[in-house]
Amino acid sequence: MSETTWVIASIGLGLVVGSFLNVLIHRLPRMMDGAEGEDLDDASMDHMVDRIPPTALSLVAPGSHCPGCGHRIRAIENLPLVSYCFLRGRCAGCGQPISWRYPIIELLGAAGALACVLVFGPTPQVKIIAAAAWGVGPKTKTQ
């Protein structure tokens, strides 16, 4: 595989990992609070996903949706960074702005993967290094 292919593949994979990190950042604290029987009192309680009982939340269900109107995000609307730009940072259902956090985390995931390839070279070992780099990302609160 050429170095250009490695760079393109690392950026694509980094965007996907960044998108999944967004899911973790948003859902894990809510899932953990629900498992502990605590009430969520953060400012985002008005979002639809926060109205779902924490026990009903998982990393795969319910599917991605607009926190404002509940519009179910189709696969074509869920392409990391590309969809954000295509939709101009707004929900396809209601036009409500989408937080800048989502593309920033996706870009950070891509930048981390790209940095690993550029620093360590296009080797099979870079996959392990990138996985370790992503593992030290966002943290949730712990007791």
Mean pLDDT of 31-53: 51
Rg (CA), the chain: 17
Condensed to tens digits (0 to 9), the pLDDT of residues 44-62 reads 433 444 555 555 677 777 7
What was the pLDDT predicted at 27?
A: 84
Query: Looking at per-residue confidence, does 122 or 42 come out higher?
Result: 122
Mean pLDDT of 12-40: 77
Mean pLDDT of 5-14: 89
Query: Looking at per-residue confidence, does 28 or 127 come out higher?
Result: 28
Query: Looking at per-residue confidence, does 6 or 131 come out higher?
Result: 6
Query: Looking at per-residue confidence, does 106 or 33 come out higher?
Result: 106
At residue 67 the predicted structure's pLDDT band, cuts being 50, 70 and 90, is: confident
CA distance 49 to 30: 9
CA distance 15 to 13: 5
Mean pLDDT of 109-136: 79
Query: Looking at per-residue confidence, does 41 or 97 come out higher?
Result: 97
CA distance 99 to 49: 15
